[in-house]
Structures are given as structure tokens and as C-alpha cells.
Amino acid sequence: MSAGGGALAGSLRLGAGIGQRAGSAVRGWPLAVRIAAGVLAVLVVGALAADVIAPLDDRAVDLDNILAAPSWSHLLGTDEVGRDLLARVLHGIQISLMIAVSAALTAALAGTLVGIVAGTMGGKVDAVVMRVTDVFASQNHFLFGILLVVLFRPVLGGAGAIMLSVGLTHWPSLARIVRGELMSLRERPFVAAAIGGGAGRLRLARRHYLPHLLPAVGLAFVLTVPHAIFHESALSFLGLGLEPHRASLGNILADGQRSLLAGGWWIALFPGLAILLASMTIGTLAESWRERLHPRWRSELEL
Amino acid sequence: MTALLEVKDLSVGFRTRRGVVQALSQASVSVEQGELLLVVGESGSGKTVLAHSLLRLLPRNVDVSGSIRLGGEDVLALQPDALRRVRGRRMALIPQSPASSLNPVRRLGGQLLEAARARGLTEAQSRKRLRELLGELGLDLDSISGRYIHQLSGGMQQRVVNAMALVGEPDIVIADEPTSGLDSDLVDATAAQLREISARGASLLVITHDLRLAERLGGRLALLYASRIVEVGPAAAFFQSPSHPYGRELLRALPEREGKSIPGMSPELTALPGHCAFADRCPDRFEPCTESVPDLYPVRDGVHARCFAHAER
Amino acid sequence: MLSADAVTKTYRAAAGRVVAVDGASLIVQPGTRVGLVGPSGSGKSTLAQIMAMLLEPDSGSVTIDGDRVEKWGLRSLRAMRHRVQLIFQAPRVSVDPRLRVGDAILEPLAASGMLPAGADERRALLQSWAARVGLTNDLLERFPHEVSEGQLQRACLARALVVCPRYLICDELSSMLDVSTQAALLEAIAAVQDEHGLGLLLITHDRVLADAWCGEIADIRELSRCEAVDPAVCFSDDGGFRAQRALERLDAA
């Protein structure tokens, strides 16, 4: 009992400490950003604690309670086979976020790699690589994405196919950003000074290029996550994404579409709301980060 | 006769995260009709801020006190409409680096016309005035109208920018660092161009850290150090025999004189001492220098210096 | 001695091929001060970068203390790089904005594996060089955007001197700086020169400075057979030197 109490007290203090530091950091943020952070925090905590708050058991069908509207026993209502919607949505958020983050990471890594190759090698290699990039960039994300998923689902499974689909449609913009940054960096005299001082390619990359690239890459990665959420949700909604037993928000939304005609508005609303909130909050936070990195020029010519 | 421009106790501070950067402290200077005034100092001394304050071209995070009277009216108190009538028409600025002061993707004809119209001229009047003005400056309106700014040589760019400043026939022209980015052998040409502008009757205020340009221009000189005016007087008197120790040391640093540097560095503008800002580096420092800030004491004909060494007289 | 022999370099610009340096030869002996003068755009910086092994010439050779330079830029021999150091005109783009001033000064040693092992030794080394160029210790902790141009250029000088070069090339060292900072930088260089017999190439458009300070003066217009190129010409849609002639005629009219 006392050992457990000690551990509890310790973790509470740790939590309080983190909370305090986060609190003081947040105080400087504008209201919109704070709201976005708050909502996102709720979504993330909900997703992480899904198993604790509302354990999901796909077989827990309750045929007496089909299509029940939101009530105190089922906060978000039930679906067409009586499963608690809150549990489904929370798990859905968990899965959607995980897939979206992995997919965005794939796109970021691919884009960065291509950008580095093009930016550092220059010349013909750069020309060829950038034309290939243009080809990928000119594809309609959605149609191309569907094609990729259809082709690779049998091979990679639902999740893998989605990651590939997002990755191959979203890497071009990052590649261009990285290449652009690298090319402008290479021109600056401080790179020449570093070479004169004895730096080789590796040192230049590690000490000078990477620290400059990381903020841009990190930001692009975060901004890709909402796109990935949308992309995956759309594909799952069409039945091309994840298999239904690993329901993401898109899958639930698809079910919701069918139930709308039967009057079950909540099954469509809540997953849709979750998708919207997740995308908007991440987007807002990323935009405010971008503002801090590259503040827009404000015309302040007045007394 | 009251001066055309009277700056009195002008103080400008920028509110930044690191504290208040006191760019200008109680600067007082006057410019007569048709006079040439040089405002000289190192970067960070406050000279650019002084020039920008005259046209109220300051960002929002500033604290300003004092007055700037142009023909009796306080520029600092003007409403936006009235201010717009002053800018360009009564006081005009020739900015640094002509190439970067103009829109690189618009042809010059359009930009020149826009500048003239903004000064209140009609379309026809603008064309006529521009043609005359550019002609006097050695340019042909028709041949440059279709060009972009980067298609002109450096000398021509400068003349375009001069024309834009003069099109409203201002009473005062402010030239901001006219030799920045130019080779030293162009200093004479620049000085000649500026004297031409001055000869048209307008008062000319030249902001510069280029001592050679200042020496060639002549007129009156105000020397700034760490946000304060430390010496005022005829330029010729300054170059022959500066009264303030900083002025003396500054001239000694010229390679054609002794090339001797001034030990130490200028104080941070966020932490100005409550005494003479040059005291730490001054070879003639004595007791009162580290106690309080000296006033501008008269030294000789028309020369004032902010130094306790001249306090007795 | 540091010598350039019949060096030629051509660039490809929007308006066609621009010859930046044409057959230039220049010698800098240890312990001497050579001034290279001429107007902007006449190839002085290009020649400087070639002599510092940063740029490969199209023809001609560069020899440093008897060793001919075979490889350039990133491929150049590390051992040779420290023999010649180059200081650039604009200090703000000559330092990595993400490094603190102190770290930037020691960076060449770190890149070459020559940094002293102990933190105390490192600090002592850094502070001794900072003192020689007139930087106070508190400035070493700051980032480039928190110090003035003059202070940054002093840091660049310290960075160049920290590897104990045999030759120092200053490309418009103080054109953007005030007179007193210029004097301070030159005094620091002179002191190092007296102690270590540094050979100095001072590139400047300021003829008065060169006359006052250098033992020997070379004019780029005499060394290199090409004409000064106004950067405006390279971007003009008229193309090449024809445009420059036309502009000069307009200018003179």
C-alpha cells in the first residue's frame, strides 16, 4: 500500500511539474492556439486512454440497443449492432492518428531524402530528380492515392497500403522545400568559410545543413498529418482503406452513412467531428509554429 | 528668423524583448532654409533613427518624446492626412541602396508616375515634371520608362531615386547613407550630385558614416555617439580640429591620417550609462565624466561639444 | 609564397558567358602586405576565392609554399586548407546563424580535429583570440543576430586566425564597417603579422586605404584582361556586353 502510494505521489508530482512548465509556456500563446492545443490534448488523451475509458469489444453486440440515440449510458449512442459509439470513436481516433502520423513520417523521410540528393548533387542529377518529383506532384492526390491502395492492398495490407499511398502523394512538396533550403545554404559564404576551415561533406551536413533543415522538415511533417488523416479517412470511407475490424474514423463514418437513412445521425456526426477537430487543431498549432519561425512582415509604419 | 526644421529634445526608444533600446536621447538640432546638414555617426549611433523620425517612419514598438517642428507645425502630432501631405511634398527621403528601394517587377515609368501622382500632381503635370526633372539629372524619361530597375547602371539608379524624391519639390531632402555599397572612387561623384540637389534651394540632410563624403560636402555637421549629439558645428571646423574627444579619435582612425583604432566598444543602447557615454574610452577622461551626462557647451564660433572639458567657458 | 599564375575563370550568366578573371598572376610573400584594388565587379573576389582554394579556375595554377593546388573546394587537401584563410565582406552571411559566436570561432579547429581536449584549455584558447581581435568574453556566448556587424567581423577574423594560417586574404574586410572598427581589425592583423610573419592580401576598392596600409599595390585591371562587369548587365534581357556599352552611352549623355 505504502509503496503504491509512494509511486502514486511521485507520479502526481511529476505530472504537476510538467503541467506547471507547460502552463507557463502556454501562457504566451494567443487564444486560438490555446484552444486548439486544449482540444487536441483531449483528443490525444482520449485516444491513448481508449482502452481504459471505454474498452472496445467488437463482439459486444447488444441487439436490444440498436441505433440508440446519445444517452447517459451510451454518451455518443450506439451503432447498428448496438456497440457503444464512444468506444468505437475513441479507438477510431487512436487508429486514425497512428496511421496518419506514420504515413506523414513516411512522406517526410522520402521527401527529405530526395531533396538532399537533388540539393547536394546538383547538375544533371538534380534535373532528373526534380522532373520525377514534378511528375509525382502533378498527380491528383486522391485518384493516385486510390490507385496505389488498390494495387498494394493485397500485398501490404490496409495500413501498409495507406502509408504508401500517403507517402507517395505527399513527398514532393517536402522534397522541394529541402532542396530549396539546401541550394540557398550552399551559396552562403559561411559554407565556404567552413570548407576553408577544414569541413568535409559529412561535417557540413551534420553541423551546418541539418540544423537549418530540421525546423522546416519538422513543420512540413506536422502539416502533412492533417492531410494524412483526411486521405486515410476518405479511403476508408470508400472501403478501400483499413479493414473494418480495425475501424478507423473513416470506417465508422462509412457505417454512419448507411445509418443516416434510418435516422441515426450520431453515427455520422461524431466520427466526422473527430476528423475535423483533429485536422483543424493540428493545422492551427502547426501554423502558429510556422509564424514563430517565419514571422510575416507587418507594415508598422505609423506612430 | 526661425529655422525651417527644429528638432527639440527628441528621444526614441524601441521596446524589445531585451529591454528598451534607447536609439536617440534628447537630440536637438535645427536646419535653416537651403542649408546642408550632415548627420554623422557609426552604425547604431542613432543617425538613421533621427532621419526616419522626421518622416515618422518608425515601427509601432517605439516610445517617442520631444518635438519636430517643420515650419512651426509639430510633425509628431500630425494626423495621418496631414502627415501624408508632408511626406514627399515638404520632406522627402532618398533611401539607401536605390536598387532595393524600388519594385523590381514593375517598370520604372509606372513607379515614377505613381510617385508623382502621390504628391498631388495630375497625370499630365506628372509627366511634364518628370521629364524636366529627369532631364536635369541627365536621364531621358522615355528611354528609361520601359526598363526595370536592375537594368540600369548603379549611377542611373541613384538618379532615378533622386528624381522620385525631388518630384514633389520638397523643402527638405533627406539622403540616407548615399554612399553605402558604392566604391570609394565614386564618393566625389556622389558629393557632386548631392550638391546639385542642394543648389536647387532645398535644405539637405545627409545621414552618413562615410567621413570622406562628409568632408567633401561641407556645410554643418552633427556628430552622434551612442544616441546623443556630441558635437555640432561647421564641417570644415570639425575636420580641421574636432572639439569632442570622440570626434578626434574618430578622425585619427582614418587610414589616411593615423589609422589608429579607438580602444573598447560603444556602449549597448539597452544599458546607457548615466554619465558621458564615451568616458570609458576617452583618453582625456577626468572626474566629472563618470558622474553625469554633459550638456552641449559652446566651444567657439558656432561649435558646440558635449564634453566637460569645455564646460568652464 | 602564395602565387597565382595566369588564372582564368569564366561564369555562365543569364546573358551569356562572363569572363570574371582573365590570365591574372599575383604573388604574396610571407610577412608582406599586398593590396589588390579595382572597382567592384572586376573579378577581385573571384581571384581571392581561387587563391584560397575554394573555387577551381578554368586554367592557370595556384601554388602555396611550393605545393601546387590540384584539388579545389570540398575536394581540396585538408592539410593545405589551413595555410590560406579568406575573410569575406559581409560578416552576417559569413557565419552560421545557428552557432554561438564562440563556437563559430573554434569551428575550424573542431572540423579538423584540432580542438584541445579539455574544456578549460578550449576556453582559454578562445578567450585569448577573442582578446586579440577586441571581443569581450560576454559576446562569445551570443548568437550572431545579437551582435553588431563590426563585432561579427572581428569574430570572423578570429576564426580565420585560430588555425594559424600562413596567408590571409581579406576580401573587402571593412567596406561595410565604420572607420574605427576597420582600424581595430587592421591593427589586430598587423600584430599577428609581426608575430608570425603572416602574408596578407588586402582586397579593397578603397585606394586610400590600400596606399596607406599596403607595401605593394596591384590593380586588378592590369592583372586581368577583362573589363569590369556591372552586375546589372548579367540580368538584362538585352544580352551581354552590348547592353553595357549602350548603358554607358546613356549614362554619359
Give me the residue spans of the domains in chain A: 3-300
Angle at A36 (CA atoms; ends A33, A40), nearest 5 degrees: 140
> Hey, what amino acid is at A10?
G
Query: Cell triple for residue C188?
Result: 589586430
Q: How far is A297 from chain B (nearest CA, A)?
A: 11
Between A12-16, A234-238, B69-73, B169-173, the lowest mean confidence (pLDDT) is in A12-16
User: Helix or strand or coil: residue B299?
Assistant: strand
Q: Does A28 touch chain B (CB under 8 A)?
A: no
Q: Which residues of B touch A302 (CB under 8 A)?
A: 56, 60, 80
A195, A203, A212 ranked by CB distance to C54: nearest: A195
Of A51 and C53, the one with more pLDDT: C53
Residue C217, beta-bridge partner list:
C35
Look at B76 and A300 and tell me if their CB atoms are within 8 Å.
no
Q: Does B59 touch chain A (CB under 8 A)?
A: yes
Model confidence band, residue A6 (pLDDT cutoffs 50, 70, 90)? low
Q: Residue A58 burial by CB count (10 A; 0-12/13-18/19+): exposed, middle or buried?
A: middle
**In chain B, what are the domains?**
5-90+170-310 (3.40.50.300)
* Residue A19 pLDDT > 70: no
**Exposure b/e, B207-245, CB count within 10 A at least 16 = b:** bbbbbbbbbbbbbbbbbbbbbbbbbbbebebbeeebbbb
A189, A200, A208 ranked by CB distance to C94: nearest: A189
Q: What pLDDT is attached to residue C238?
A: 37
Q: Does A301 touch chain B (CB under 8 A)?
A: yes
Q: Does B79 touch chain A (CB under 8 A)?
A: no
Of A50 and A99, the one with more pLDDT: A99
* Residue A133 pLDDT > 70: yes
* Residue A91 pLDDT > 80: yes
Helix (H) or strand (E) holding C19: strand C16-28
List the single best residue of C12, C71, C94 to mutate versus A (max A Cβ within 10 A). C94
Query: Cell triple for residue C179?
Result: 572607420
C136, C179, C184 ranked by CB distance to B254: nearest: C179
Compute the distance between CA of residue B105 and CA of residue B101 in angstroms, rounded to an integer: 12
Look at A188 and C49 and tell me if their CB atoms are within 8 Å.
no
Query: Cell triple for residue C161?
Result: 586566425
Q: How far is C76 from chain A (nearest CA, A)?
A: 9
> Hey, what amino acid is at A206?
R
How far lies B249's CA from each of B253, B257, B282, C69, in Å? 6, 11, 9, 44
> Hey, what amino acid is at C43?
G
Q: What pLDDT is attached to residue A302?
A: 37
Look at A303 and B80 and tell me if their CB atoms are within 8 Å.
no
Q: Count CA atoms within 13 Å of residue B177 on its CB side.
A: 21
Q: How far is B284 from chain C (nearest CA, A)?
A: 18
What pLDDT, in 10s, does the model give residues A169-184? 889 988 998 998 888 8
Of B156 and C93, the one with more pLDDT: C93
Q: Does C117 touch chain B (CB under 8 A)?
A: no
Mean pLDDT of chain B: 88
List the single best residue of C96, C105, C159 to mutate versus A (max A Cβ within 10 A). C96
Q: What pLDDT is attached to residue A258?
A: 80
What pLDDT, in 10s, does the model give residues A196-227? 988 888 888 888 988 888 888 888 898 889 88
User: Helix or strand or coil: residue A173?
Assistant: helix
**Exposure b/e, B111-134, CB count within 10 A at least 16 = b:** bbbebbebbebeeeebbebbeebb
| CB B223, CB B246: distance < 8 Å | yes
Residue of chain B whose Cα is closest to the Cα of A299:
B59
Look at C247 and B152 and tell me if their CB atoms are within 8 Å.
yes
Q: Does C116 touch chain B (CB under 8 A)?
A: no
For B16-75, give the DSSP string: ETTEEEEEEEEEEEEE-TT-EEEEEE-TTSSHHHHHHHHTT---SSEEEEEEEEETTEEG
Query: Cell triple for residue A281?
Result: 487543431
Model confidence band, residue A3 (pLDDT cutoffs 50, 70, 90)? low
Helices and strands per DSSP (H, E), number in chain A: 11, 0
- Mean pLDDT over residues A149-174, rounded? 87
Q: Does A57 touch chain B (CB under 8 A)?
A: no
> Hey, what amino acid is at B142?
D
Residue of chain C whose Cα is closest to the Cα of A197:
C108
- Mean pLDDT over residues C224-235, rounded? 53
* Residue C135 pLDDT > 80: yes
The pTM score is 0.80
Model confidence band, residue A159 (pLDDT cutoffs 50, 70, 90)? confident
Domain A3-300 has CATH 1.10.3720.10: yes
Percent of chain C with pLDDT over 90: 49
- Mean pLDDT over residues C30-56, rounded? 89
Q: How far is C227 from chain A (nearest CA, A)?
A: 25
Greatest mean pLDDT range, A28-37, A291-300, B299-308: B299-308
Q: Count CA atoms within 13 Å of residue A66 on its CB side.
A: 7
| CB C29, CB C167: distance < 8 Å | no
Q: How far is B79 from chain C (nearest CA, A)?
A: 36
Report which of B179, B180, B145 is spatially closest to residue B160, judged by C-alpha positions: B145
Residues of A with CB under 8 A from a CB of C: 188-190, 192-201, 203-204, 207-208, 211-212
Q: Which residues of C touch A201 (CB under 8 A)?
A: 74
Q: How far is B273 from chain A (nearest CA, A)?
A: 27
C205, C207, C212 ranked by CB distance to B259: nearest: C212
Q: Which residues of C touch A192 (CB under 8 A)?
A: 49, 54, 86, 88
Percent of chain B with pLDDT over 70: 99
Let me know how long chain B is: 313
User: From its phi and psi, is residue C51 left (phi > 0), alpha (psi between -120 and 50) or beta?
Assistant: alpha
For B72-117, give the DSSP string: TEEGGG--HHHHHHHBTTTEEEE-SSHHHHS-TTS-HHHHHHHHHH
Q: Which residues of A touch C76 (CB under 8 A)?
A: 195
Residue of chain B whose Cα is closest to the Cα of C178:
B42
Look at A302 and B60 and tell me if their CB atoms are within 8 Å.
yes
Compute the distance between CA of residue C95 and CA of residue C108 in angstroms, rounded to an integer: 12
* Residue C104 pLDDT > 50: yes
Compute the distance between CA of residue C215 and CA of residue C35 in angstroms, rounded to an integer: 8
Q: What pLDDT is attached to residue A298?
A: 42
Compute the distance between CA of residue A78 and CA of residue A127 in angstroms, rounded to an integer: 56
Q: Does C148 touch chain B (CB under 8 A)?
A: yes
Q: Which residue has the cell 525546423?
A: A215
> Hey, what amino acid is at C56?
E
- Mean pLDDT over residues A33-58, rounded? 80
Q: Residue C98 burial by CB count (10 A; 0-12/13-18/19+): exposed, middle or buried?
A: middle
ipTM of this predicted structure? 0.83
Q: How far is C204 from chain B (nearest CA, A)?
A: 9
Compute the distance between CA of residue B243 and CA of residue B306 in angstroms, rounded to an integer: 9
C: neighbours with 3+ CB pairs under 8 Å? A, B
Residue B297, beta-bridge partner list:
B305
Compute the distance between CA of residue C226 and CA of residue B83 in angstroms, rounded to an integer: 51
Q: Count CA atoms within 13 Å of residue C27 on its CB side.
A: 4
Compute the distance between CA of residue B279 and CA of residue B226 in angstroms, rounded to an integer: 12
Report which of A302, C3, C77 is spatially closest to residue B59, judged by C-alpha positions: A302
Q: How far is A194 from chain C (nearest CA, A)?
A: 7
* Residue C91 pLDDT > 60: yes
Sequence-distant (6+) residues with CB within 8 A of C190 are none
Compute the distance between CA of residue A125 and CA of residue A112 in angstroms, rounded to an integer: 16
Q: What pLDDT is attached to residue B134?
A: 87
C178, C206, C247 ranked by CB distance to B42: nearest: C178
C53, C84, C107 ranked by CB distance to A194: nearest: C107
> Alpha carbon B276 to chain centroid distance?
23
Q: Which residues of B touch A301 (CB under 8 A)?
A: 56-59
Q: What pLDDT is attached to residue C251?
A: 41
Look at B56 and A303 and tell me if their CB atoms are within 8 Å.
yes
Compute the distance between CA of residue B227 and CA of residue A168 in angstroms, rounded to an integer: 58
